[in-house]
Amino acid sequence: MEALLHDPALWALLLFVIPLLLRVPIAVALGGAALAVAWNWDLGYEMLSYNFYAGVAKFPLLAIPFFILAGIIMEKAGIAARIVDLMKALVGSMTGGLAIATVAVATFWGAVSGSGPATVAALGLILIPGMACAGYDKPFATAVVSVTSGLAIVIPPSIAFIVYGGVANVSVPALFAAGFIPGIVVALCIVTAVWIISHKHGYRGTCEPDAPSVGKAFRRAFWGVMTPVIILGGIYGGVFTPTEAAAVAVFYGLFVGVFIYRTITSVSELFEIFASTVHGTAVVMIVVTCAGLFSWVGSTVGLIEKASSVLLGISQNQWIILFMINIILLLAGMVLDAISIYYVFLPIMLPLIKHFSWDPIWFGVMMTINLAIGQVTPPVAVNLYVGANISGLTMEEISKPALPLILAALIALAIVVAFPSLSTFMPALLGLSG
């Protein structure tokens, strides 16, 4: 018992979990636990500063602020509104048309934003009032926007894949390619759920009598539709890296907003865009640095090896271990953000990936879908919080209609877990290796 009380791995875990339960900010809980253990067990102060710096001094992570900036620019440029109009024109008149259009828009916007909460913010202001106007129940409308916006971290380009690639040392372009088919599988499962619910309640299309034709809507949305074509086409064509693609997306968004749509017209608007980007980037990067520090401390004191050994000691059946991993990730998603989960749990799971010879690309897609679901599962549920702020509803009002959609996403997760080729087909087709 005394030896256990002096185990730095145990203290690292306790000093992280206890503050988390007391609602201490995640970055503080991670950084505080790492610093306390490093100080008490004399792990070397010079290594602390080195690992704090090394956590963010990675070229692929430079794509994160650029993609955040690109998403904000394209929202301000009016691209989101034009894409919404196009999807309404395509499926707006059918049963559940506006809800299906919402899933389609969120799926497409994932190729622009790469962030779930940012997608809710960009689309919610347009789609939630529009669905309510068309007779949809407002809590259901908010739930559809919030849940489907989780697809933004599965559909490439994805900030989540960039972080996973950095932690697991896996090719980011391969991860981007791997996310396509599973992302569509998730979208189709959610579409099925919203169609069934819409059919039951008689929800249909839009309330706008002067909705544009498909041709007119496509012409208006053309420059927005080209966004993922340019970004992903450039990556897979070998023209630029994901980080360079993020920078290209910024300049493309500015070009469209300033010269094509002329919706960004003043220096003050640019200042607001850059200020929002700095705030969003700072939130992400402080978590990255503190989580990276905790991951290094956990590895140094043996926490990662012990946790992996515990899982392997329960069973040597890969399906039982996979089931346990998915349950752990789903539960972690209820209380932690995606970036923290990658840094805290992925190092524990990397020995398991090697032990069972799992494809790290497939595992990354599976893990990311888990974290997308985590964005809408209380108590944290960042997407639901953003949706609640936009709609003026409470979390409780949104959570109930969100449950069938979360169930649909879980079914999609099970399909991706059962059929790894859904994740590995596109990277193999494009000649991208992990």
Q: How far is the C-alpha of 270 from the C-alpha of 268, rounded, in Å?
A: 5
Q: How far is the C-alpha of 261 from the C-alpha of 250, rounded, in Å?
A: 15
Bin 44: left if φ > 0, else alpha if -120 < ψ < 50, else beta: left
Walk along the chain (434 residues) in steps of 10 and give the mean pLDDT of each run: 65 84 84 86 74 74 83 82 79 76 82 73 80 85 89 83 89 90 93 90 68 80 84 82 85 90 88 88 84 83 80 86 90 81 88 92 94 82 82 86 93 95 91 71
pLDDT at 291: 83
Reference 60, options 152, 165, 178, 158; nearest CA is: 165
Structural tokens at position 408? 């649909």
pLDDT at 422: 94
| Helix residue ranges per DSSP H, 24-96 | 26-40, 45-54, 63-76, 79-91
- Write out pLDDT tens, residues 244-259: 888 888 898 899 888 9
Structural tokens at position 92? 């707006």
Reference 67, options 106, 123, 118; nearest CA is: 118
- Write out pLDDT tens, residues 162-203: 889 988 989 888 998 999 899 999 999 999 999 999 888 887
DSSP 104-169: HHHHHHTTT---HHHHHHHHHHHHHHHHHHTT--HHHHHHHHHHHGGGGGTSSS-HHHHHHHHHHT
3-state secondary structure of 241: coil
Radius of gyration (C-alpha) of the chain in whole angstroms: 22
**DSSP designation for 325:** H
Bin 329: left if φ > 0, else alpha if -120 < ψ < 50, else beta: alpha
Structural tokens at position 370? 């888990």
Q: Is the peptide bond before 379 cis (omega within 30 degrees of 0)?
A: yes
Q: How far is the C-alpha of 361 from the C-alpha of 363, rounded, in Å?
A: 5
In one-letter notation, the amino acid at residue 129 is P
Reference 150, options 176, 113, 193; nearest CA is: 113
Give the burial class of 306: count Cβ atoms within 10 A of its Cβ; 0-12 exposed, 13-18 middle, 19 or more buried: middle
Residues 6+ apart with CB under 8 A from 18: none
Residues 6+ apart with CB under 8 A from 348: 304, 307, 308, 311
pLDDT at 150: 83
Handedness of CA 281, 287, 289, 292 (dihedral sign): negative
Q: How far is the C-alpha of 342 from the C-alpha of 347, rounded, in Å?
A: 8
**DSSP designation for 240:** S
pLDDT at 188: 94
Determine if the pTM surpasses 0.75.
yes
Quickly count helices (H) and strands (E) in the chain: 21, 0
Cα of 174 vs its chain's centroid, Å: 17
- The string over 229-257, giving b where at least 16 C-beta atoms fall within 10 Å of a residue's C-beta and e elsewhere, is eebbebbbeeeebbbbbbbbbbebbbebb
